[in-house]
Structure 1
Amino acid sequence: MKKAIYFFASVFMLVSCEAEGELTRPLPPVAIDETATPQFQGNFEPTSGISATGKVKIYLENGTYRLDFEDVTVSNGPDLKVYLSTAAYPEQFVNIGNFNANHVYTIPQVVNVSDYSHVLIHCQQYNHLFAYALLQPIQ
């Protein structure tokens, strides 16, 4: 009886761990439209022991904000996320999704982009900041 319960519990845990949430499912490719206007940009700065270079830009396209990386390279790490943050560390932030330097992120409509001053690349699993970029308005 114990073995049967253990077997069913193991199967349940495996199946429930396989479910993809909104922030963990693979992202479809999205491109910035030619008519999009750049609103903010910043250069990534690495934290101690991390290598990070490149730039981030936020565009306004048909009333929707999109976040795009340009020539971004970051040290490998598990569970890297992209955050919009009010500071150069994850205190008050919005999780935009899994980090992929080749993806363009659509920022949810409920997020007021001007409330956030930084884009972070953060290892959620170990609560370790990899890189941050101070966003500056593009004139």
Structure 2
Amino acid sequence: MVAVAGAAFGSYWFQPWKLWQDETVEEALPGVVATSAPPAGAPRGQPSAQPSSTASGPQTLASGDLISHEHATSGTAKLLRLADGSHVVRLENLDTSNGPDLRVWLTDAPVEQGKAGWHVFDDGKYVSLGKLKGNKGSQNYALPSDVDWSSYSSVSIWCDRFDVSFGAAELARL
């Protein structure tokens, strides 16, 4: 009876089936707005032979490649400023293992290779941007409006259950 209870608790805690379950999320790049306007000097109310089109989109403020920590992880993390002034962390082409209680963290910790980098992200300042939407694909995570993005230098795919980084990216300012 104790062995069954222990196995049930272990299965709940570790959720080993997630290692074989991939969840792909493909979100569009946020905030791309296309507008059409008549060329300068064209009379109002008359169709133009060649309408001009302008596109405004997000501005990349910082970017970095994800490196592996506890689990093989690859992709790119970007910090974007949207046209409305809000900020988003975007994970592009993410490929990592699935796991229990994975989060996306914006942190002030340096990204270190190997086991040295597994546990550093909760030592300093960090902001949880929410649960990882999928362990594969491209996804967007909004920064709360009161977060000063300039005081953070990295992104981690953080396993909150085991306090370990699956992978992380140092954000190089552009």
Q: Taking structure 2 as the reference length, what is the TM-score of the superposition?
A: 0.59
| Aligned counterpart, 1:104 | 140
Match of residue 116, structure 1, among 142, 147, 152: 152
Aligned partner of 1:95 among 128, 132, 156: 128
Output the CA distance in 2 between the equivalents of 1:47 and 1:31.
27
Shift of residue 106, structure 1, vs aligned partner: 1.0
> Percent of pairs identical after alignment?
26
The answer to whether residue 128 in structure 2 is matched with residue 130 in structure 1 is no
Q: What is the 5 A alignment of 1:60-79?
A: 60-61=81-82, 62-79=84-101
Following the alignment from structure 1 to structure 2, what is the Cα–Cα distance between the partners of residues 39 and 56? Answer: 11
2: CA distance, partners of 1:107 / 1:43: 20
Q: CA RMSD in A?
A: 1.5
> Mapping of 1:17-28 within 5 angstroms?
none
Query: How far off its partner does 1:103 sit?
Result: 2.7
Which position in structure 1 is the counterpart of 2:117?
A: none
Runs of 4+ in 1 over 3 A off after TM superposition: none
CA-to-aligned-CA distance 1:65-114 (integer Å, 9 cap, x gap)? 01111101111211000001110322221111001254311100111001
Distance 1:44 1:74 in 2: 10
Query: Structure 2: which 5+ runs fail to align?
Result: 1-26, 33-56, 112-120
How far has the Cα of 1:30 moved from its partner?
6.8
Aligned length: 109
Worse-superposed segment, 55-64 or 87-96 = 87-96
CA contact 1:90–1:120 (8 Å) conserved in 2: no
Supply the distance in 2 between the matched residues of 1:31 and 1:107 (Cα, whole angstroms).
Answer: 15
Question: Residue 32 of structure 1 corresponds to which residue in structure 2?
Answer: 30
